[in-house]
Each structure stands twice: as structure tokens, then as C-alpha cells.
Structure 1
């Protein structure tokens, strides 16, 4: 019996700085221009329908960051995320120490795009425990509402 490959809805990425490059190698021009993919479009608040997407993306980022930082209980993420994302976040976080001082996280910036009519992707720079991290969300529109179906972050 062949089991289907299950992709993870949440991915925690360890940050690894790239090694420093010294000498002429860093200045050597590339062989040619890099191939360009389709251009990205930023969602502007005045776009009507896209304003709703941006508001949902901002709320989802804020909830996810608060849960990751420990300032909100993980079950509140179910307001904007599918059950698979919630389960994996709870499994990754494990039990939190009671009484530990938690520094509130801060969202520095959020950007979103719509690669398809019913799909939106959002990225954010956030500060968690005094360090800057990246957060990426995939939002899908189903049954009349936007839900987070995948999350990727460098936050602990």
C-alpha cells in the first residue's frame, strides 16, 4: 500500500547567515541578466476588494505572531486558520512556561499579493523576543471567507 505524501501546513525555518564573500568574486558580474518571472503586484488599500484581502492578511499576521510569541493562546488562531495549521502550531509550541515574562511582538511591515482570484499570499517582518523574523502566509478564499492554509516563519 502506497501512502500519500503529506505536505506540512506550517514550516519553521532556521535562520543561517550566509558566509561572507571577500575579494573580486563578490564584484564579478554574472554571466547574463537573471531570468525574470512574472511581476509581483502589491495590494493597495484603495483597490476595493483587495482592501479586504489586506485587512484579513494584517489580522492573520497579527494573530499568528501573537500566538508564536506566547501573548495569545494557540486556539485563537482558529479564527483565521484552517485546522491543520492550528494543530501544527500547537504541536510545535508545546507547553509554555507559566509566569514567564513575554515581550509583546511587533509587526514592522506587511505586504500581500493575489496570484489567483481566490488565493492571496502575505509576507511580514516581525519582531519576536527582540529579534527580527520573517513570516509568510497563504490565504485561500472558500465558503465566503479567507483562511490561512499555510504558514512559514523564521520565528522560534
Structure 2
């Protein structure tokens, strides 16, 4: 458009977005393994605040031992930063042979990223 604003390329700040994407992918992978039963729920505390851990543990309830647990699979993960210390991630995952969505909010505080909210369609 002559005389109008042109398009400009916006580049991520020196590796910040790569760090957020790596943290988001690791958090998604850990959360889906807990949901699938291939990882103990208490290990979610590595990436999530206590409230998220309690909520997930309550949803899982006691798990029956025995039988074969099919490892989950992360199909794709995307993240964005709506604010400097906030990231949101979405993922498509396969749990028990079915495709589900997973969304989480990450917040940066005290030098590390933590999952402060998690929603999923997985059982």
C-alpha cells in the first residue's frame, strides 16, 4: 500500500522464545505421561505449582496396577508469550490410543518457568 504502513519482520529476542518452547515441550511431555499413567503424579511437581499437582492427582484418583499401559505420544506443541513473564502452550497428544488436546499456562517467577494452569480433554 503506497504511503501506508508496511509489513515488518519481528524476530524473537535472543533465545528467549526457544527457551519457552523447550520448557513448554518438557512440561507437556511430563504432564501427558502423568495423565497416561506412565509416570507417577508426584513428578509433575518438577514443572507445576502445588495447586496444579493437587488437581491432577485428584482427577487421576487411585490407579489400578496391572495390565499394559500404552505410552503416550506428543504429536505437536505450540507456545506463545502474551506477556514477558507468561507463556501459553497447546499440544495435541495421544493417550490410550486417542487424540486429546492439552493447554497449559507457564509463568516465570524466581528464575524459573512453572505450570500454573493445565486443561486437557484426556481422561
Q: Same fold (TM over 0.5)?
A: yes
Q: CA deviation at 1:37?
A: 21
CA distance, structure 2, for counterparts of residue 86 and residue 98 of structure 1: 21
Residue 71 to residue 37, structure 1, CA distance change in 2 (3 Å): farther
Q: CA deviation at 1:100?
A: 2.3
| Structure with higher strand content | 2
Q: CA deviation at 1:121?
A: 0.1
Point out where structure 1 has 5 or more consecutive residues left out of the alignment.
Answer: 1-34
Residue 101 to residue 41, structure 1, CA distance change in 2 (3 Å): farther
What residue is the counterpart of 1:127 in the other structure? 94
Pairs aligned (count)? 122
Q: Deviations over 1:105-135 (max 9, x none)?
A: 0000000000000000000000000000000
2:21 to 29, 54, 68: 54
Residue 41 to residue 90, structure 1, CA distance change in 2 (3 Å): farther
CA distance, structure 2, for counterparts of residue 151 and residue 36 of structure 1: 45
Instruction: State whether residues 44 and 50 of structure 1, in contact with CA within 8 Å, keep that contact through their aligned partners in structure 2.
Output: no
Structure having greater relative contact order (Cα 8 Å, sep ≥ 6): 1
Q: CA deviation at 1:99?
A: 1.2
Instruction: State whether residues 133 and 155 of structure 1, in contact with CA within 8 Å, keep that contact through their aligned partners in structure 2.
Output: yes
CA distance, structure 1, for counterparts of residue 35 and residue 3 of structure 2: 34
Point out where structure 2 has 5 or more consecutive residues left out of the alignment.
Answer: none
Q: Deviations over 1:72-124 (max 9, x none)?
A: 00000000000000001111100001112100000000000000000000000
Could you say what the CA RMSD is over the residues aligned between the two structures, in angstroms?
Answer: 4.7
Q: Highest CA radius of gyration, 1 or 2?
A: 1
Q: Deviations over 1:19-76 (max 9, x none)?
A: xxxxxxxxxxxxxxxx999999999999511111010000000000000000000000
